[in-house]
Structures are given as structure tokens and as C-alpha cells.
């Protein structure tokens, strides 16, 4: 049974910002003329897919590695990932001279596996879900003494992701609604903690996919439950939240105003729109906010900001999607 910890606070997020400032990029915000016209209010896109490793995950990973003791750094780190956390952790560990092992399931696209290896980390493919890959991380911690840095349910990770919220509020001071891709809840918890501390009136909406939306199902159940991981264009949003979840479930429950789900077709439409209208290349997980806007699932009240959280998509898949092909990953993964 989990024992909930106090929520990550603004002071921790501000400290994280100082800790990562020298090595993590401040990403730009663009106003979208096409989406602003569609919604009838200003729509801004936070281009976090232009982060150094192609996703927001570098923020939390860098902060987590910076918080390690010298002894922990000597032993090395391990983590489970659907791709982007692994890439961010591998980058942060390499910069700090720390050994890094990333464990992943067979559902992770090869492009993301290759990206992690290119950062110098060792990759181990275990099972068909993040939960199964986590078992190998647990073994590395128990038998080899490595320090586990999880992808979301960790104070330093959440505080690092929250730095994105601080940036966004500086860039769009009058923002009224923020759309945040939702998986295990690290990003939405950090962004919500930052924004709600400074602007309690801002609406935070988590966006996930219809296929295997773990946090959404856990919120409905009233606590962490097992949710089957399914193939989806938004592969970075796959995986459970952990039955022993300490932070992100409660923070999402208490700080996030709503959760919206989008279909595979809507995610594909989001990827296409972002490419053809915004001239940006994003992965499925990074497109879910725009997908929700295009499908009119978001009530537009005041300026809206959507976080384009990652751009690490297989370019062959991206070409197929933007060319209008009906890319059915559910069939291709069978």
C-alpha cells in the first residue's frame, strides 16, 4: 500500500530551474493563427519537442541526476521508459559521467531505442509492458546497487518538469487553459503545481489517448489500478502509473481540472495539422493537445496553450501519417 508524500511545491520547482538552467533549453512558444481562428481565442503552442533530446523528459532527468549523492553517481542509475525518459536520463547521465541502464518493453519503437543507445546508455528489452520492464530495473537496484530514477513518480522528476510551467507563464502571462499530455502524470503534476501556485485560476487539462489511458482509468477507479498497455500512435503515453504510486496520482487528482481522451484518428489529425499548418514535427504524444482542439473537445475560454511535449517519432511513420495514410498501429503491432 502506498503512503502519499506531500505535494511538490513551487520552491522545489524554482530550485530545479536553477539546477538545470545551464544544460536544458528554454523552449519557445508560437501563437497558432490557424488554431486561434478555429477556437475563436488565442492558441499558443509550447514547442517542447525542440528540447535538446526531443522531449520535456530532459528537464526532470537532469534535475534528478543533479540531486544524486556522489556515491549514487558512482554506482550508476537505471530507469524504465517508453522512450523519452530513457533518452533524457541517458543524456543527463552521460553529461555527469554516470553509468546508465534503460529498461524498455517490446512495444517501444526502434527509433526511440536507437536514440537512447546513441546517448551512450545500455538498453535492455524486457517483456511487453513498462510494468514488466520495471522488474529488471528492480533487479538492478537490488542486486547491482544502481539507483532507480523513475519516469514520473519522483520529487526531483516532477520538480524538473514543473520548470516548463514556469517558462510558459512567463511567455503567455494571460493563459487561461493549458493542455498537457497525460501519461504517468509527471509532466501534468509539475506544470499544475507551478501554475496553480502562481495562477490558481488557470485550467489544467490532461490529454491522453483512448487506448490504454492509465491515469484516466486510475482516476475513475479512485486509486492506482493495473491498466493494459496497448499499441497507440501516442506510444510515449503508454504504461501504468504504478500500484505504489506516491505522488502523481494524488497531484493529478487534486490539481488537474479535467482529463480528455482522443482517438487514434484524432491523434493522426493532430500530427498532420502540426506539420502542414505549424511547420513542426511531433510524435503522437506531443500532438494530443492539438488533437483535442481540432476535435472541439476543449471549451475555449480565454487564451489556450498546448504543450507539444515531444518530437521523437519514427520518420517513416510520420511520413505515412502526414501523407494521409490510415496508420493503424493496433494492427501493425498484432
Strand-strand pairing, 147-148 and 77-80? parallel
Is 1's pLDDT higher than 70? no
Are 280 and 47 in contact by the 8 Å Cβ rule? The answer is yes
Strands (E), 28-83: 29-31, 43-46, 77-80
For residues 108 and 329, what is the distance between their CA atoms, to the nearest angstrom? Answer: 12
Mean pLDDT of 100-111: 90
Instruction: Name the average pLDDT for the chain.
Output: 95
Alpha helices in 76-129 (DSSP H): 84-96, 110-118
For residues 31 and 71, what is the distance between their CA atoms, to the nearest angstrom? Answer: 45
Determine the pLDDT at residue 247.
98
Query: pLDDT digit string (tens) for 156-210?
Result: 999 999 999 999 999 999 999 999 999 999 999 999 999 999 999 999 999 999 9
Strand-strand pairing, 203-209 and 177-181? parallel
Determine the pLDDT at residue 123.
96
- Please work out, in degrees rounded to the nearest 5, the angle formed at the alpha carbon of residue 242 by the alpha carbons of 240 and 247: 115
Residue 3: band (very low, low, confident or very high) from pLDDT cuts 50, 70, 90: low
What's the predicted TM-score (pTM) here? 0.94
Is 133's pLDDT higher than 50? yes
Q: Tell me which DSSP letter residue 8 carries.
A: P
Is 107's pLDDT higher than 80? yes
CATH of domain 10-55+154-332: 3.40.50.1100
* Least confident stretch, 40-44, 172-176, 229-233, 281-285: 229-233
Among residues of the chain, what percentage have pLDDT more than 70?
98
Is 300's pLDDT higher than 80? no
CATH of domain 58-148: 3.40.50.1100
For residues 226 and 215, what is the distance between their CA atoms, to the nearest angstrom? Answer: 10
Is 224's pLDDT higher than 70? yes
Mean pLDDT of 65-79: 97
Determine the pLDDT at residue 327.
93
Where are the domain boundaries for CATH 3.40.50.1100 in the chain?
10-55+154-332, 58-148
Mean pLDDT of 49-65: 97
Determine the pLDDT at residue 76.
97
Residue 79: band (very low, low, confident or very high) from pLDDT cuts 50, 70, 90: very high
Sheet holding 100-104, edge to edge: 122-125, 100-104, 77-80, 147-148
Determine the pLDDT at residue 317.
95
Query: pLDDT digit string (tens) for 24-35?
Result: 999 999 999 999
Amino acid at each position: 500500500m502506498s503512503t502519499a508524500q506531500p505535494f511538490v511545491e513551487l520552491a522545489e520547482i524554482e530550485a530545479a530551474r536553477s539546477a538545470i538552467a545551464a544544460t536544458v533549453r528554454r523552449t519557445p512558444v508560437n501563437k497558432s493563427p490557424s488554431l486561434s481562428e478555429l477556437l475563436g481565442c488565442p492558441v499558443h503552442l509550447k514547442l517542447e519537442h525542440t528540447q535538446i533530446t526531443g522531449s520535456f523528459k530532459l528537464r526532470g532527468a537532469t534535475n534528478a541526476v543533479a540531486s544524486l549523492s556522489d556515491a549514487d553517481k558512482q554506482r550508476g542509475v537505471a530507469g524504465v521508459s517508453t522512450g523519452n525518459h530513457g533518452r533524457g536520463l541517458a543524456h543527463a547521465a552521460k553529461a555527469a559521467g554516470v553509468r546508465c541502464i534503460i529498461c524498455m518493453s517490446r512495444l517501444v519503437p526502434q527509433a526511440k531505442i536507437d536514440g537512447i543507445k546513441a546517448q551512450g546508455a545500455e538498453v535492455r528489452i524486457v517483456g511487453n509492458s513498462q510494468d514488466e520492464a520495471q522488474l529488471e530495473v528492480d533487479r538492478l537496484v537490488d542486486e547491482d546497487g544502481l539507483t532507480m530514477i523513475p519516469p514520473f513518480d519522483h520529487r526531483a522528476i516532477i520538480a524538473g518538469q514543473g520548470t516548463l510551467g514556469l517558462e510558459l507563464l512567463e511567455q503567455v502571462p494571460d493563459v487561461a487553459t493549458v493542455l498537457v499530455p497525460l501519461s504517468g502524470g509527471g509532466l501534468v503534476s509539475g506544470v499544475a503545481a507551478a501554475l496553480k501556485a502562481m495562477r490558481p485560476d488557470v485550467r489544467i487539462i490532461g490529454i491522453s489517448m483512448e487506448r490504454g489511458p492509465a491515469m484516466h482509468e486510475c482516476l475513475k477507479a479512485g486509486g492506482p489500478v493495473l491498466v493494459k498497455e496497448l499499441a497507440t500512435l501516442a506510444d510515449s503515453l503508454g504504461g501504468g502509473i504504478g500500484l505504489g504510486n506516491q505522488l502523481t496520482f494524488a497531484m493529478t487528482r487534486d490539481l488537474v481540472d479535467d482529463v480528455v481522451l482522443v482517438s487514434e484518428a484524432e491523434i493522426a489529425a493532430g500530427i498532420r495539422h502540426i506539420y502542414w499548418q505549424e511547420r513542426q514535427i511531433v510524435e503522437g504524444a506531443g500532438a494530443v493537445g492539438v488533437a483535442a482542439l481540432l476535435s472541439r473537445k476543449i471549451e475555449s475560454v480565454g487564451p489556450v496553450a498546448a504543450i507539444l511535449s515531444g518530437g521523437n517519432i519514427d520518420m517513416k511513420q510520420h511520413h505515412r501519417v502526414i501523407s494521409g495514410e490510415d496508420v493503424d498501429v493496433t494492427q501493425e503491432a498484432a
